[in-house]
Amino acid sequence: MRRVYCTLLILFSLTMPICAQMSVEEIKGNPEYLTGEGWGESNKAANNAALQDLISKISVSVESQFENIEEEVTDGTSVDSHSACKSVVNTYSQATIQNTECIYISHEPDAHVFRYVKRSDVDKIFDSRRQKVFDMAASAARAREKSKIDDALRYYYWAYCLLQSIPNANAVVDEQGHVLTHWIPEQINEIFSLIEAHKVSEADNVAEIRVLFNGEPVTSMDYTYFDGMDWSNLYGAKDGRGFVELRPGMTTDNLRIKCEYEYSGEAHIDKEISTVVNVMKGKVFRDAYIMLSDAPAPAPKKEEPQAEPEAEPEALAAAQTEAQSTESADVVAKVEALPKNDITELSAEEAAPYRKSIDAVLAAIRSGNYNSVDTLFSPDGKDMYRRLISYGNARIMSEPQLSFYMVGAQKDVTCRSVAMSFSFRNNNRKFVEDVTFTFNADKKIDCLAFGLDKNSTDDILKHDMWSEYARTVLAEFLENYKTAYALKRLDYIRSIFDDNAVIITGKVTTRMTGTDNANVSLMNNKYVQFTRQNKEQYLRNLERCFDSNEYINIRFANNDIVKAGVGGEVYGIQIKQDYYSTNYGDTGYLFLMVDLNDPKKPIIKVRSWQPERDPNFGLVDLSHF
């Protein structure tokens, strides 16, 4: 912990302005510098005025490096080249340009501020954004590989918008030699060309659809559709499943789905992106529109080849086992592959009482008679059930294919999985989650959780050097963790944090605030406020966050898990996390050090968050503690 904290201190000290050795008049008269001045009743007002003056000077110096800039900015028909260039350069003002040199000639109430930068350093202002374009394009490519189409399109499109705000954008190439102004749109259009959407079923003016990418179910994708009168709110498909809500009398014939790629409503998770998206026109992708078609008839089953007569029974069994091992398997449907001493799939007879309870719960949700099944839950389970049905107008999707299995010595039974859709009164987002139910030894529903997507689950299950039981416990822990934040289960979150947990929280800010510089770092040209909190401080702040937000949703991607060398079942979990709420959003890297020696009582020893990989120490991991 001390190593991480000291590194942040060093980072901040390196970003502080160097005291000027020349006088203001000498700098003004030196052609090597660009300068700006501002006056105001407060230091802040004078500083902003000086910054705007400096931006105007920088805009003049780089204007010739922007090509057809009038056509790129919003409302481009009413601005000239210089105004357009200034608008674009101004998008840097909340980050890099804030770090130009500053001299306070006088302070408030008659403040006078002088800012300056070397002409030779102007290009450095744009370097970080070039790197951000490269990083986002790389993130988009990784997301595409895992069929996370929402992430792939979002990162490609945002990278393209950022690219338009860089001088000489047409000369920006990646390590493979791709000219990004052409290559990024090509990647976006190629993704669209590989997407299919098929209607699976329709009932009560709701049609369930299957969304495929390159012939396989998408891991995640967002879309809207034209309902005959207007374009719908934003819907999310997960693991190939999505839905559309139809107006009375409306059919899915000739229904067009638009794949979301702009994500202007979510751009606020990054202030720099939000500013650029609001200034730049962006690009219209006509291939984003996909026609909804009926699901194709299932292909006829191929006849199994007859075994060669000379093959021994042992050889046939081995061949069958090998063939089974090559099938893609997710944790929901392939529990039979798990070690029988740890995880056991229930037979139809064994699962009957549990299935009866789940059927009753689903019927209660469909009918809105929620109280009728209260006796099927434990006290904790009933609390989660209440939170679930009030979280975004929960609705059951189609007829779920349920599987039941018993986990570990506690003999808990888990039911996977029920696809449910959620929507919010004050938010235009609708999405699908797989809900899992866990029964205790008394056959009461004791836990409900939002399941991880298939790729996130696979990221955990690939660690075959650990027992299947350990990997399943890890997956269930992450499911319960993200669900606790969505359902605002403060008591549960309190129970899983160690009383002496190390908790480092970060928040991206537009400028430095306060005087405690020790807790501030400039990471990739964004000021980040780092705070070391104890458990009670963290929970108090979290409670305020829960009270002020109707809507919280967490997305996980790129799980990287390492088992500690000591302490038994202790794991370090690094997760790429997107956090969305009613009034705040961010994206970054979450690190959790979790003690799972008692699977029923996971304990978080360390929690840290950082917006990006630090140039000095990368990502926080087990080696720092």
Give mean pLDDT, residues 564-586: 80
Q: For residues 160-168, give the mean pLDDT.
A: 87
Distance CA 28, CA 475 (A): 61
pLDDT at 335 over 60: no
Contact 446, 544 (CB under 8 A): no
Q: State yes or no: pLDDT of 300 exceeds 90.
A: no
Predicted pLDDT of residue 260: 94
Q: Treating both helix axes as pointing N-terminal to C-terminal, what angle do 454-461 and 468-486 enclose, rounded to 10 degrees? A: 140
Q: How many CB atoms lie within 10 A of CB 155?
A: 24
Tokens of 594: 């979790």
* 136 sits in which H/E element: helix 122-145
Summarize pLDDT for 99-118 with one digit per residue, the tens. 678 899 999 899 999 999 88
pLDDT tens digit sequence for 169-185: 888 999 899 999 999 99
- The residue among 287, 274, 288, 284 whose CA lies nearest residue 162 is 274
Q: Are 258 and 143 in contact (CB under 8 A)?
A: no
pLDDT band at 91 (very low <50, low <70, confident <90, very high): confident
| Distance, CA of 440 to CA of 366 (rounded, Å) | 24
Q: Is the pLDDT of residue 93 over 50?
A: yes
Residue 321 phi, psi dihedral angles, 5° rounding: -60, -40
Please tell me the least confidently modeled range out of 268-272, 424-428, 480-484, 511-515. Answer: 511-515
* pLDDT score for 512: 36
Lowest-pLDDT range, 46-60, 91-105, 328-342, 478-492? 328-342
Residue 18 bridge partners (DSSP): none
**What rounded mean pLDDT belongs to the chain?**
79
Percent pLDDT > 70 in the chain is 80
Q: Which residues pair with 571 in a beta bridge?
A: 563, 594
Query: What is the model's pLDDT at position 77?
Result: 59
Mind listing the domains of the chain with CATH numbers?
Answer: 1-21+463-625 (3.10.450.50), 22-122 (3.10.28.20), 330-451 (3.10.450)
Helix axes 271-279, 81-90, angle to 10 degrees: 160
Q: Measured between alpha carbons, how far is 288 from 153 in angstroms, rounded to an integer?
A: 10
Q: What tens digit of pLDDT does each residue of 429-462 get? A: 777 888 999 999 899 999 999 988 877 888 887 7
Q: How far apart are CA 474 and CA 466, in angstroms?
A: 11
- Whether the pLDDT of residue 514 is over 80: the answer is no
Q: What value does the mean pLDDT take over residues 190-200?
A: 95
Q: Are 490 and 543 in contact (CB under 8 A)?
A: yes
- Comparing 531 with 440, the larger pLDDT belongs to 440
How much is the pLDDT for 21? Answer: 61
